[in-house]
Structure formats: C-alpha cells, structure tokens
C-alpha cells in the first residue's frame, strides 16, 4: 500500500500526456450498440476476481456471472457484502465450494486503512453461506509466544482487523491458507472454521527448519533498524499442483514442501529474496502468485519493497524456486492469468499478452470491442481464467476474450435509460445521461454520454459552454440504427484545449428530434 500513490501518480501522468496532444481523438460516438441489462455489475473498477468452470466472480460486491450471460447475479446470504460495508478482497473456488475473503475500508489516525471482516464460506454451491469472523482468524491478546520446532518464539499478537485484510486465499480439500498483511500467513485445516498463525523466517534468513534453533521476534511493525519484519507481512499465497505452498510477502517468496500436512510448528520454508542475478526475483514484494496448468510453471508479480535494491516485473519458476525467468522488468503488474501458452499480465501501463509462454510480449494499452473501448490510461488489475474465456478487471470495467485477445467484449455498470437496475430500483426514466458526472478530465479521462435512437437516423452531438457557445461537435451526421449508444468526450474543445470548469450543455440530434443534458466539469 505504500506504493499505491506511485501507481495513482502514473495514471495521472499518462492522462496529462494524452490530453496535451494538439488534437485529441477521444471525442466520438462509439461504433456499436451497448446492452442494458437490469442485473449489471456494481462498479467499473474491478480489482478482485476469481473463476471456476464457466462462472466468474467479481468484487467489490461479490457478483457472479455464468457462461457470459447478460445478467450479473448476487448470492443470497452474504448480507455483510450485499447490504453492509464488507467487500470482496479475495476468493478461492472449487466444485460447490467457495472461500471468499471479506474486508472493508476503515479510518485510523485520520487515514484510510484496509481491514478484515472474515470469510464467507459455502460447501453446497452457494445455497448457504457462513461468515467466519475475525474472532476465529486473528490472535488473542495473550498470544505472546508461538511454538516452533520445540521452542517458543516471541510474537506480537495481531488482535485488531485493521491492516489485516484477506488479500489472497487458497485451499485444497479442507486445508486453506490466507495472506493477511500484518496477520501474515494463516492456515486452516478444517475448511476455514479455525485458523492458526504460520511462522515464516525473518527477512535475513534463507531457511526455516524445525530442527534448528532460532531467536527472533515475529513483529510485523518493524523496529526501524532492520528489514526483518518485511517477511512477516503476508500478501499472497498459492497451493501448487505438486503440493508445494508458496507464500509471498513484502520480503520475498517462501516455499514449503510440507505446509499442507505438517503440524504448524514443523513446517519447513525456503526463503528467497530479490537479487541482481538474471535467474532470481526482480522485486521483494510478491503481490500475486499463479500457476499455469498448461505446464505447471508458477508465476509471480514482483514489486519493489526496498528502494534502490529491487525492481518490478514478473518472474516464473519451473523448479520450485531454484531458478526464475524474468519478464517485463520495470512494469507494475497486478495479476497474471493463462490459457495454455497464452499469458495475460494486468498492469498499470496496460495489459501485456504473450502467446508463446513468455518468449514475446505484446502491450495493449487500450482494449477495444466492436461497440466500445477502454479509456486511455486504464489500469488493468485482475485476471480470471474461466473455462471458455479470459476475464480482465480494470479501472474502466470488465473485458473478456475467447481468442487470446484478438477480439474483446467489454462490460460496464449499466443504468438503463428507462430507469432501474438491481442497485437502484427507483431510478428515473430519462432520454440521456452522462457519467461520471461531475466529470474531472484529469481524474476520469473520459465522460460517456448515453442515449438511444428509435430508428435509422443520422446523429450529431454538440457541446456548448455556459454561454451557449459551441465548443465541440461529435461525429456529425453519423448514421446509427435503432438501439442504445454511448459517445465519449475528453473535456477539450475543437482546438484540443481543456474547457473551463463549469456546466457544459450537450444536445443530441437524431432524425426524430433532439435530446439534451448537462455535464459539470470540475478539475
């Protein structure tokens, strides 16, 4: 989270560069019709996803979609998410079984912090759900020591949900692991009913073995004198097909060959830190770990945790961490997904696709579909591998492909012009609207104007300032058939200059009359 402001700055920087062009091209009526389902996703920024079979789940409201149907559904019995402040932070799926990590945003010391609520768990295909709260996932105040290898190590108990969000969860059978930042790596052997803290080596140690003797304190706060605490901050976890468990932290990757079935005090770990070796980790902060079922290679996103000592990118290992292949060095990658030899890396500079198992990469900064497109500067956050398609979560909606990125479909929040969707059942019936509204060109890049036509007609959209001076024309007399459409505008006039703050009026002329609306521009 310390690095998040840097990614936000990067997005803003890209937006400034794009809008500095003398004649922007992002002002047009999008080429095709858009759908208007009642059951749509809840927001366009999607950073957490999971898939099993033909079903994909998305955050933050824990909605799911089956077989790319138009409708996005919400499960019954997860009230803390659908009706409360809980949000989906992570999800692990199997046939009829789901463990969903739930968190929320809290305020601490005047700043926003992420906190843990617990886990929603089902083993009957979602017919019933149980919320396992933090009383069963965190420590008790008197948990001052932990047993490891026949000795007691001193620990600082993590007893509050703040700074312990369930970033990643994974399970196999009844054994589950989650990575929870300050709460480190935790394991359950009864399918999430109870959880135990798992000891990882401090940053400076290469191994942790129950046959050895140790003297260190497990304190995720750090002492300001060493980096040992970095490896106590859990961020990602994976149970590999061969039984190895991978635990990613802010201090590297930890790999165990017995964490699935050994007692907690007897788990062995190899700890690998970033190095300047060409076959080592690029960065110490391992934020996501994924296994490609095509060849069982384990891929990891690497972020920089120690300024000047590591960098960013992704790595892959085919020998349980003995060596690593390095890819996309210098890129901030959030997630990775696969379809056989095709690899998808979602990042702050776009979506990177390799169709030859990582040998070559193609950067896609702006995904386009037949009827719409992602806005410039979109950040791509998440990848989910369904049986029939790859899903990509971004800051501007969902994208999916069935042909490894040759063609795309794009899904966004939908508020039908005739009012009502599953998130707001009392919305008014309107002829047109613009979103986001108010619109900040610096923060939002584009505003979208939604409208519909009843018949084949030429369509022109004109924008006026508060004094009704014409400032922009979008696609004059563009021929459209009956249906619902969107136009996009980047906040500039015909000369490519940013318009002043204030109310912008727009008029949509069709063969059957005109529709009008307003956009409030606020930088």
**What tens digit of pLDDT does each residue of 335-353 get?**
999 999 999 999 999 999 9
Looking at 301, 330, 359, the residue that finishes a domain is 330
Give domain status of residue 165, yes or no.
yes
**Number of folded domains that form the chain:** 2
Whether 420 shows a pLDDT value over 70: the answer reads no
pLDDT range class, residue 372, cuts 50, 70, 90: confident
Query: Counting beta carbons within 10 angstroms of the beta carbon of residue 227, is it exposed (0 to 12), middle (13 to 18) or buried (19 or more)?
Result: middle
Asked if 423 and 304 sit in the same domain, the reply is no
Q: Residue 125 sits in which domain range?
A: 119-330
Whether 413 shows a pLDDT value over 90: the answer reads no
pLDDT range class, residue 25, cuts 50, 70, 90: very low
pLDDT value for 423? 64
Asked if 324 and 177 sit in the same domain, the reply is yes
Give domain status of residue 47, yes or no.
no
pLDDT value for 10? 34
| Torsion-angle region of 181 (φ positive above 0: left; ψ -120 to 50: alpha; else: beta) | left
Looking at 298, 330, 362, the residue that finishes a domain is 330
Give domain status of residue 265, yes or no.
yes
Domain with residue 266: its CATH number is 2.120.10
Q: How far is CA 429 from CA 433, 450, 517, in A?
A: 10, 13, 13
Give domain status of residue 2, yes or no.
no
Pairing of strands 151-155, 217-218: parallel
Asked if 144 and 292 sit in the same domain, the reply is yes
Asked if 265 and 123 sit in the same domain, the reply is yes
Asked if 303 and 203 sit in the same domain, the reply is yes
pLDDT average, residue stretch 179-191: 98
| C-alpha torsion angle, residues 421, 426, 432, 435 (rounded to 10) | -70
Give domain status of residue 366, yes or no.
no
pLDDT value for 489? 94
pLDDT digits (tens, 9 = 90+) for 234-272: 999 999 999 999 999 999 999 999 999 999 999 999 999
pLDDT digits (tens, 9 = 90+) for 454-508: 889 899 999 999 999 999 998 889 999 998 899 999 999 999 999 999 999 999 9
Give domain status of residue 485, yes or no.
yes
Give domain status of residue 250, yes or no.
yes
pLDDT value for 424? 66
Angle, CA 179 vertex, CA 173 and CA 184 arms, to 5° = 125
Looking at 330, 352, 373, the residue that finishes a domain is 330
Domain with residue 34: its CATH number is 2.60.40.1930
DSSP 82: H
pLDDT value for 421? 64
Give domain status of residue 69, yes or no.
no
Q: Which residues of 82-103 are buried (b: 16+ CB within 10 A; e: fewer)?
A: eeeebbbbbbbbeeebbbbbbb
Asked if 138 and 225 sit in the same domain, the reply is yes
Separation CA 81–CA 87 (nearest Å): 6
């Amino acid at each position: 989270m310390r690095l998040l402001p840097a990614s936000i700055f990067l997005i803003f920087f890209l937006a400034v560069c794009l809008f500095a062009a003398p004649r922007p091209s992002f002002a047009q009526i999008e080429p095709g019709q858009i759908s208007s389902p009642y059951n749509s996703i809840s927001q366009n920024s999607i950073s957490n996803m999971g898939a099993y079979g033909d079903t994909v789940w998305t955050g933050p409201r824990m909605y799911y979609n089956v077989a790319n149907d138009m409708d996005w559904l919400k499960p019954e019995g997860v009230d803390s998410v659908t009706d409360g402040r809980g949000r989906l932070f992570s999800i692990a799926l199997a046939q009829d079984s789901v463990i969903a990590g739930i968190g929320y945003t809290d305020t601490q010391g005047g700043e926003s912090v992420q906190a843990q609520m617990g886990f929603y768990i089902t083993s009957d295909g979602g017919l019933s759900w149980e919320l396992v709260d933090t009383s069963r996932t965190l420590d008790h105040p008197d948990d001052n020591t932990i047993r490891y290898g026949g000795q007691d190590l001193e620990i600082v108990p993590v007893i509050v949900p703040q700074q312990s969000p369930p970033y990643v969860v994974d399970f196999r059978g009844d054994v589950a692991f989650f990575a929870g930042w300050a709460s480190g790596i935790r394991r359950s052997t009864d399918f999430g009913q109870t959880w135990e803290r798992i000891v990882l080596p401090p940053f400076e140690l290469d191994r942790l073995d129950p046959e050895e003797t140790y003297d260190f304190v497990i304190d995720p706060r750090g002492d300001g004198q060493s980096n040992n605490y970095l490896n106590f901050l859990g961020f990602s976890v994976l149970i590999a097909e061969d039984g190895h468990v991978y635990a990613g932290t802010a201090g590297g990757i930890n790999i165990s060959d017995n964490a699935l079935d050994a007692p907690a005090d007897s788990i062995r770990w190899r700890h690998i830190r970033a190095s300047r070796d060409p076959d080592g980790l690029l960065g110490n902060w391992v934020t996501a770990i994924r296994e490609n079922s095509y060849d069982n290679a384990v891929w990891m996103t690497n972020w920089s945790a120690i300024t000047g000592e590591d960098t960013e990118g992704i790595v892959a290992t085919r020998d349980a961490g003995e060596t690593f292949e390095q890819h996309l060095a210098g890129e901030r990658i959030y997630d990775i997904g696969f379809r056989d030899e095709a690899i998808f890396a979602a990042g702050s500079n776009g979506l990177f696709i390799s169709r030859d198992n990582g040998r070559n990469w193609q950067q896609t900064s702006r995904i386009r579909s037949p009827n719409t497109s992602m806005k410039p500067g979109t950040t791509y956050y998440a990848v989910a591998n369904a049986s029939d398609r790859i899903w990509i979560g971004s800051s501007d909606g969902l994208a999916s492909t069935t042909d490894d990125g040759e063609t795309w479909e794009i899904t966004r929040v939908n508020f039908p012009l005739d009012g009502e969707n599953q998130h707001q059942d009392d919305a008014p019936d309107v002829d047109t609207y613009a979103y986001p509204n108010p619109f900040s060109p610096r923060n939002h890049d584009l505003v979208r104007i939604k409208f519909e036509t009843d018949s084949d007609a030429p369509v022109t959209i004109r924008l006026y300032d508060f004094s009704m001076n014409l400032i922009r024309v979008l696609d004059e007399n563009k021929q459209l058939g009956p249906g619902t459409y969107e136009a996009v505008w980047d906040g500039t006039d015909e000369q490519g200059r940013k318009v002043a703050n204030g109310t912008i009026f727009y008029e949509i002329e069709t063969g059957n009359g005109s529709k009008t609306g307003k956009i409030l521009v606020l930088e």
